[in-house]
Structure 1
């Protein structure tokens, strides 16, 4: 099938689907296919084009190749280019298969029955659409990996004798986000953060580590609520903290997600528990009309059972083969895009990060990395990471407002949540985990060491209850090491000037140690 029979290009362009090219060039690969078949899918982050010069370069989200890289102007030509140079975008490929039809793909295989790219496309068609092409089983050709493991993260894989390929896709047809190998991710994985965390913990006495772990756990629980703009009572924070502390002990399935939702919601009088029974979105309402103004539209409620089943199957069967942080990013961000519940999705999304890390033994026993606290501190980066996919999907979701101020989705959208490029999410999560190990864990132990030293030295000088000792420390910590006139006249009126001066000196002496945990 020639692209010219769909929507032919007139030649080099400088603007393609509202995206400027760095110079006049001919879009190829996924860009050409999306345009020729008018596919309603988000385009890959980086598109490809053929430039006029003999220079390969990347600029303005375009990978510009030389004239010798130009593929044949056929469906097979551009698909082969995409697989060879651009990796797998399963959302684009599945939409293209539906648009082109089975015979067009079968013709590609018949034209090159032993070709690795043709057999990979053949496998992908039958895997993604769960439909068999009218082709006999392959009898020749070296077994080829479906995913190029040097370009995207993949599993060890299993062989498909019908296609003579190795299925190393990191998921199932029901849920399979992809992650590209980037210099950032390669560096993170090679750094072995889990080993670094064990080294940090090994230097901390057991009693101090227990107090550090308790603080970090509570900090993560509180931060997860604050990200959602909530300030719940302490007992609710502690209950959710306990749930986080137990992460990784039970397999994730729908029943477990429902149990966790009940814990995180608490008072469910005004919240429907369980899978949504109507649409869902993240955003605001018009102040005058009440019409939704979505930043993100959740999966249709009719698709939730299948999507959650795909997600939990990934967590059970596929995630163990991937790097723990990569698996946590795919599982957690996939969940929050699906947004299966009326409320509690954000906190459960962050719980799933803890679940994967704990289940895989990534974090030291008894220690929860305060990922939510880091996310809260980097909230703008977090939102940009979420928007890296949701904003690209939003233009393709057709919806109308309901009388209850909600949205009703009018088109098929489930593949937008099954297949997405999770590379930005993996990079963001890795950077958050690295900070908890490199900064937060050592800082909190240093803080507690300094605090303990302060207590010992002050206790040798004056005798006071623990409650007052804690208050004294907080006053000094909040007032740059100086005990304020108000504190001297009220809570510590019985303290002499000499004692106050000596306590300030003690604080200054240990400040260098605990200031790292401030």
Structure 2
């Protein structure tokens, strides 16, 4: 199959690029159409093999914007070719995009025989991508509307899955839900969210936090509501707060090459290498600028996904990157004013339950980036790293899978984790109150028994009955079970939201 567009440019110009999701190829079709994971192109619409500009204009028209490819391919196009093509079609959208990007990537100017007479055209088509208003080029009448700038820009495609998640309006639902709760239930649900977000964020890193670590991380999560701008100094402070070993605490972004390993020996065990230190520092400057602006200009959850995954892919510290990347989700949502009353969506709880999906989302980028590195094992913990790719691989990346995953986890955090815990608290309150009104049982004993009974499908286990037999009569155990089963059946019949309302009525 002959390659077309971006696929052709990558092959013919020997560019460094991650595999295309939908490469264009020549197929026996009568019109351009998507067939599976291929863009089928009829032979009569294919530019000549040596016509790189023709393939580039084809790609811009039919495949969208791929800055990682364009940043490498455009500087290889002679200025005369672009000037001639522009003269033939001075108001053409795609030649104007090519000329605009050529100047941006090369730092040189193209001759323009006559000014553009057409209106401004967006670089990214808003109906196909999530976009953000940006700088305008009056010369080419092109508006850069990507998620970032030409030093660092993520791409988020408006796929059917992404559009459906955005239509669900998760943040508005979260706000409505938390505001529907009575204050005491709200406070306890939020406290639960902070505690379990902390526990599971550490658990994702295969670490059990001490009481001191938990306390410091909860304090960190609460800082998200302060809406600090991201700076290197602030991120260093956050890194120092989540890392307990003083020797692992950073004073600045890293000055050495970091890597991730799956524990296997030798070079094969190295699973990901973030950008080299100098490039990492440059990309972090751009990412921090994006993080300080984007949550108020695009959907906050989209911004949060780009920021969180972008941070972990840059890996600016030698330790603590994973926990900080998940904190940045909360920071972005708070910066946008999307979470009031101290609310926190326990996304790490959802991620811990969906660890395989989390790994897959990370690997959509990390697996391909690893292929551009040569790793030579020297000794245990010692390697020699050589980057054989180009900066564009890390500068321009497809954040669509990362954002979709972030949206899914936010939805799960609300509709399963937070609502489930809130329903549990409402059930606990109902059972505790009814038993306490009828029997005189020590408060701490009753609290433990009610909690254990509800957690055990309405049954007080034989071991618990033995444990409390000298403090609680048998008929009290029976009554706890009776009320708990009644409440649980009611909850299963009407769902978590209605259970909370029922609890409010009881109060």
Matched, 1:308 2:279: no
Matched, 1:357 2:333: yes
1:258 to 211, 219, 236: 236
2:255 to 271, 274, 277: 277
Q: Is residue 332–residue 350 contact of structure 1 (8 Å, CA) maintained in 2?
A: yes
Tell me by how many angstroms 1:318 deviates: 4.0
Q: Residues 188 and 483 of structure 1: is their aligned pair in 2 closer, same or farther, counting only changes over 3 Å?
A: closer
Q: Is residue 325–residue 426 contact of structure 1 (8 Å, CA) maintained in 2?
A: yes
Q: How does 1:53-132 map to 2 (within 5 A)?
A: 53-54=29-30, 56-67=32-43, 69-73=45-49, 74-100=51-77, 102=79, 104-129=81-106, 131-132=107-108
Aligned to 1:267: 245
Tell me by how many angstroms 1:243 deviates: 1.1
Q: Is residue 278–residue 408 contact of structure 1 (8 Å, CA) maintained in 2?
A: no
SS at match of 2:154: coil
- Distance in 2, matches of 1:455 and 1:333, equals 43
Tell me by how many angstroms 1:321 deviates: 2.0
Matched, 1:383 2:356: no
* Structure 1, 81-90 or 476-485: larger mean CA deviation: 476-485
Q: Is residue 116–residue 141 contact of structure 1 (8 Å, CA) maintained in 2?
A: no
Q: Is residue 447–residue 514 contact of structure 1 (8 Å, CA) maintained in 2?
A: no
Aligned to 1:210: 187
Tell me by how many angstroms 1:386 deviates: 0.6
Aligned to 2:502: none
Structure 2 runs not aligned, ≥5 long: 497-507
Q: How does 1:351-500 map to 2 (within 5 A)?
A: 351-401=327-377, 403=379, 404-411=381-388, 413-500=390-477
Tell me by how many angstroms 1:466 deviates: 3.3
Q: Is residue 350–residue 372 contact of structure 1 (8 Å, CA) maintained in 2?
A: yes
Tell me by how many angstroms 1:57 deviates: 4.2
Tell me by how many angstroms 1:201 deviates: 1.9
1:199 to 176, 200, 224: 176
Q: Is residue 258–residue 273 contact of structure 1 (8 Å, CA) maintained in 2?
A: yes
Tell me by how many angstroms 1:279 deviates: 1.1
1:299 to 265, 270, 275: 275
Tell me by how many angstroms 1:482 deviates: 2.5
SS at match of 1:247: helix
- Distance in 1, matches of 2:330 and 2:336, equals 10
- Distance in 1, matches of 2:384 and 2:114, equals 47
Tell me by how many angstroms 1:225 deviates: 0.6
2:127 to 113, 128, 150: 150
Tell me by how many angstroms 1:204 deviates: 0.7
- Distance in 2, matches of 1:220 and 1:323, equals 22
Q: Residues 402 and 388 of structure 1: is their aligned pair in 2 closer, same or farther, counting only changes over 3 Å?
A: same
- Distance in 2, matches of 1:242 and 1:137, equals 61
Q: Is residue 171–residue 314 contact of structure 1 (8 Å, CA) maintained in 2?
A: yes
TM-superposition CA deviations, 1:266-302 (whole Å, max 9, x none): 2223555532222111123544xx5462221111112
- Distance in 2, matches of 1:237 and 1:69, equals 61
Tell me by how many angstroms 1:207 deviates: 1.6
* Structure 1, 331-340 or 484-493: larger mean CA deviation: 484-493
Q: Is residue 232–residue 253 contact of structure 2 (8 Å, CA) maintained in 1?
A: no
Q: Residues 465 and 434 of structure 1: is their aligned pair in 2 closer, same or farther, counting only changes over 3 Å?
A: same
Structure 1 runs not aligned, ≥5 long: 1-12, 14-25
Tell me by how many angstroms 1:208 deviates: 1.0
Q: Is residue 402–residue 408 contact of structure 1 (8 Å, CA) maintained in 2?
A: no
* Structure 1, 506-515 or 199-208: larger mean CA deviation: 506-515
- Distance in 1, matches of 2:295 and 2:109, equals 30
- Distance in 1, matches of 2:131 and 2:27, equals 31
Q: Residues 33 and 277 of structure 1: is their aligned pair in 2 closer, same or farther, counting only changes over 3 Å?
A: same
Aligned to 2:300: 324
Q: Is residue 16–residue 390 contact of structure 2 (8 Å, CA) maintained in 1?
A: no
Q: Is residue 330–residue 425 contact of structure 1 (8 Å, CA) maintained in 2?
A: yes
- Distance in 2, matches of 1:485 and 1:110, equals 87
TM-superposition CA deviations, 1:107-142 (whole Å, max 9, x none): 54355333221111111122234x022424861231
CA RMSD of aligned residues (A): 2.4
SS at match of 1:133: coil
Q: Is residue 224–residue 347 contact of structure 1 (8 Å, CA) maintained in 2?
A: yes
TM-superposition CA deviations, 1:66-87 (whole Å, max 9, x none): 4454345412221111111111
- Distance in 1, matches of 2:248 and 2:323, equals 18
Q: Is residue 294–residue 300 contact of structure 2 (8 Å, CA) maintained in 1?
A: no
Matched, 1:141 2:117: yes
Q: Is residue 236–residue 250 contact of structure 2 (8 Å, CA) maintained in 1?
A: no
Tell me by how many angstroms 1:387 deviates: 0.4
- Distance in 1, matches of 2:413 and 2:356, equals 18
- Distance in 1, matches of 2:178 and 2:323, equals 27
